[in-house]
Amino acid sequence: MQLLINPADELPIYRQIMRQITEAIAGGLLRSGAKLLSHRELSEQLVIAPLTVKKAYDELEALGFIETVRGRGTFVAAKLPLPNPGADLERLRQNARRLLAQAYLAGLTFDQVVELLQETHSQLTENHESQKENV
Amino acid sequence: MQLLINPADELPIYRQIMRQITEAIAGGLLRSGAKLLSHRELSEQLVIAPLTVKKAYDELEALGFIETVRGRGTFVAAKLPLPNPGADLERLRQNARRLLAQAYLAGLTFDQVVELLQETHSQLTENHESQKENV
Amino acid sequence: MQLLINPADELPIYRQIMRQITEAIAGGLLRSGAKLLSHRELSEQLVIAPLTVKKAYDELEALGFIETVRGRGTFVAAKLPLPNPGADLERLRQNARRLLAQAYLAGLTFDQVVELLQETHSQLTENHESQKENV
Amino acid sequence: MQLLINPADELPIYRQIMRQITEAIAGGLLRSGAKLLSHRELSEQLVIAPLTVKKAYDELEALGFIETVRGRGTFVAAKLPLPNPGADLERLRQNARRLLAQAYLAGLTFDQVVELLQETHSQLTENHESQKENV
DNA sequence: GTGGTCTAGACCACC
DNA sequence: GTGGTCTAGACCACG
């Protein structure tokens, strides 16, 4: 798995890292127990400050997505955090609304949005094999 | 139309305003030529600084969504900006990917996501009738 | 001669009027003694407030480009204002610099700029006949 | 590079800054990747409010001339915005027309205008060598 | 240190 | 009344 960082992006770098790792977990690219690169290794690979990666890992750990074992490394959590049905659904609704608004401004129809979603779905789930990769 | 601002939101206030106005345009709530509240009026209504609203209006104008006429007011643009097929589609794809990742983490299936999208679609398009002036 | 007003332009309307009239004089379209529309007529034709046209005429008169004769109307001045060699040349130099900078950013070469200037020159001077038109 | 601001100028200060920076880019004084002063430093140097410089930087970024990286600074864009052949040419034509009208009112001939343009061209292009960082 | 946002108030030009 | 600009200060997040 290869992370892509854009320093000029509005989203802070540590958030870009968090987002990509959680997306990889959601898409099945990273499974429970998979080992992540150490924050030092990852910072070298991405050519950014180690503190930045550390911050991303710290927050991911606080959220329950990853677990750190002193002396062994960092791993995808065994039990992924259960969703808070209420708040999460509301956020999902909002994001769905935004996606639709954005699509309509771009001239797409509802059916085309669903189509696009289906393509994306296929991409996210087709790489369910390559499992023991590191981040 | 009533804007809702959350000062505690991670998204800057001026962006919240921009988002809600563009969504209103996308959903048909605001049509070409419709007059917006003056940035002063809107700032009073939202209990925020006038400059904050003005910044939102300025950026929306730079993006081509609204037009401003000195001494007369601010209006939804007559010709809304045509989508840039390339960049826009790519951004849409990214957002679709994020929506799916978020939904999967929340335990939803693909079909449930499509369902949720359909509900949202109905809401966005059902208020396509009356409305003449003012935000 | 037909004036074109764009209310959304950054330049104030009364300045748009001033600019177009002085350009018409410079280009030979309007000669000394030519009669202008009354500010009321012009305001009707342009669908703007009479005060706005009045302001443009007032400033043009203060600058010496036009003359008002009570009860008869407004005319292009018999003796056009002589340039202030110093200040005017400096402003010209600045504008020349800006034109070049703008052209270079647009990818043109110096020769192409001169070419473009020549076309413009032809247009400005070829309509030296139609003289007795009103504004 | 030294910016010169005239608070009494009709052109807003932030526009004066924008203009001088784009001209410096067009003239080769500022190259892609060159670092600009932080908006705070520049505001001190020019003795104006930081927000005023920031507004200039923001608009230049929206136009694609400069890029900003959080925590690192602001830089001349790697890929300068490609000209929009249509709109840009039309604006150039207008400005050429205005330059000629202004010159004719000042009593110059067409050849003298071209001469003046040639001088300006030399000035703009002769400082195409050294310069690494800072505005 | 950097940029990002926001405030509360001011003054101006335009219509 | 409208929008346009500017100030002087504040607080925050990021690296």
* Per-residue pLDDT band at D72 (split at 50, 70, 90): confident
What was the pLDDT predicted at C8? 87
What was the pLDDT predicted at B133? 43
What was the pLDDT predicted at B41? 92
Distance from CA of C49 to the nearest CA of D (A): 24
DSSP category for residue D134: -
Chosen for mutation from C9, C79, C102, C119 (greatest number of chain D CBs closer than 10 Å) is C102
> What is the distance between the alpha carbons of residues B1 and D103, in angstroms, rounded to a whole number?
52
Half-sphere exposure of C112 (CA within 13 A, CB side): 13
Q: What is the mean pLDDT of residues B74-95?
A: 86
> What is the distance between the alpha carbons of residues B55 and C46, in angstroms, rounded to a whole number?
32
> Is residue C18 within a helix (H) or strand (E), and if so which, with residue range?
helix C13-26
> What is the distance between the alpha carbons of residues C46 and C14, in angstroms, rounded to a whole number?
11
- In this predicted model, what pLDDT tens digit does every residue of C51-101 receive, in sequence order? 999 999 999 999 999 999 988 899 999 988 876 767 778 889 989 999 999
Comparing B50 with D130, which gets the higher pLDDT?
A: B50
DSSP category for residue A27: T
Write the residue in B97, B120, B123 that is nearest to A120 by C-beta.
Answer: B97
Is a pLDDT exceeding 70 seen at residue B87?
yes
Close Cβ partners of D87 (under 8 Å, ≥ 6 residues apart):
none
Kindly determine whether residue D69 and residue A8, on different chains, have CB atoms separated by under 8 Å.
yes
DSSP C58-102: HHHHHHTSEEEETTTEEEE-SSPPPP-HHHHHHHHHHHHHHHHHH
Q: Decide: A111 and A103 in contact? Cβ < 8 Å.
A: no
D133: tokens are: 């960082």
Chain D residue numbers with beta carbons less than 8 Å from the beta carbon of A7 are 69-70, 72
Q: Decide: D64 and D22 in contact? Cβ < 8 Å.
A: no
Kindly determine whether residue B67 and residue C8, on different chains, have CB atoms separated by under 8 Å.
yes
DSSP category for residue D73: E
Determine the distance between D34 (CA) and F10 (C1') in angstroms. 31
- In this predicted model, what pLDDT tens digit does every residue of D75-108 receive, in sequence order? 999 988 877 777 788 889 989 999 999 898 888 8
* Per-residue pLDDT band at B71 (split at 50, 70, 90): confident
Phi/psi at C68 (nearest 5 deg)?
A: -110, 135
C18: tokens are: 């001033």
- Burial label for C70, CB within 10 Å (0-12, 13-18, 19+), is exposed
Q: Coil, strand or helix: which one is C25?
A: helix
Is a pLDDT exceeding 60 seen at residue C129?
no
* Per-residue pLDDT band at C127 (split at 50, 70, 90): low
Is a pLDDT exceeding 80 seen at residue B89?
yes
Share of chain D above pLDDT 70, in %: 92
Determine the distance between C9 (CA) and F14 (C1') in angstroms. 39
Task: State the virtual CA torsion across C21, C119, D89, C92 in degrees, nearest 10.
Answer: -60
Tell me the pLDDT of chain A (135 aa) as tens digits. 689 999 888 899 999 999 999 999 988 889 999 999 999 999 999 999 999 999 999 999 999 999 999 889 999 999 888 767 677 788 899 899 999 999 998 889 999 999 999 999 988 776 554 444 454
Q: Which chains touch D (3 or more CB pairs under 8 A)?
A: A, B, C
Distance from CA of A31 to the nearest CA of B (A): 12
Q: Decide: D106 and C89 in contact? Cβ < 8 Å.
A: yes
Q: Decide: A45 and A53 in contact? Cβ < 8 Å.
A: no
Based on its alpha-carbon atoms, the radius of gyration of chain A, rounded to whole angstroms, reads: 17
Comparing A4 with C133, which gets the higher pLDDT?
A: A4
Q: Decide: D92 and C106 in contact? Cβ < 8 Å.
A: yes
What was the pLDDT predicted at A81? 81
Alpha-carbon dihedral sign for residues B54, B57, B59, B62: negative
Which is nearest to D83 in space by CA: C112, B58, C91?
Answer: C112
What was the pLDDT predicted at B52? 92
Helix-then-strand count for chain D, H and E:
5, 2
What was the pLDDT predicted at B130? 42
Q: Does A11 touch chain B (CB under 8 A)?
A: no
> What is the distance between the alpha carbons of residues D48 and D40, in angstroms, rounded to a whole number?
10
What was the pLDDT predicted at C126? 64
- Burial label for B48, CB within 10 Å (0-12, 13-18, 19+), is middle
What was the pLDDT predicted at B88? 81
- In this predicted model, what pLDDT tens digit does every residue of C98-122 receive, in sequence order? 999 999 988 899 999 999 999 999 8
- Residue that is written with structure tokens 């700032």 in the block: B43
- In this predicted model, what pLDDT tens digit does every residue of D120-135 receive, in sequence order? 998 877 655 444 444 4
What was the pLDDT predicted at D130? 42
Is a pLDDT exceeding 60 seen at residue B131?
no
Task: State the virtual CA torsion across A99, A101, A103, A105 in degrees, nearest 10.
Answer: -150
Q: Does C7 touch chain B (CB under 8 A)?
A: yes
User: Strand F-proximal residues, CB under 7 Å?
Assistant: A 7, 12-15, 48-49, 51-52, 55; B 36, 38-41, 50-51, 54, 57-58, 68-74; D 7, 12-15, 48-52, 55, 70-72
DSSP category for residue D35: B
Task: State the virtual CA torsion across C16, C18, C21, C27 in degrees, nearest 10.
Answer: -90
What was the pLDDT predicted at C50? 92
A in contact with C (at least 3 C-beta pairs within 8 A)? no
Determine the distance between C9 (CA) and F2 (C1') in angstroms. 15
What was the pLDDT predicted at A132? 45
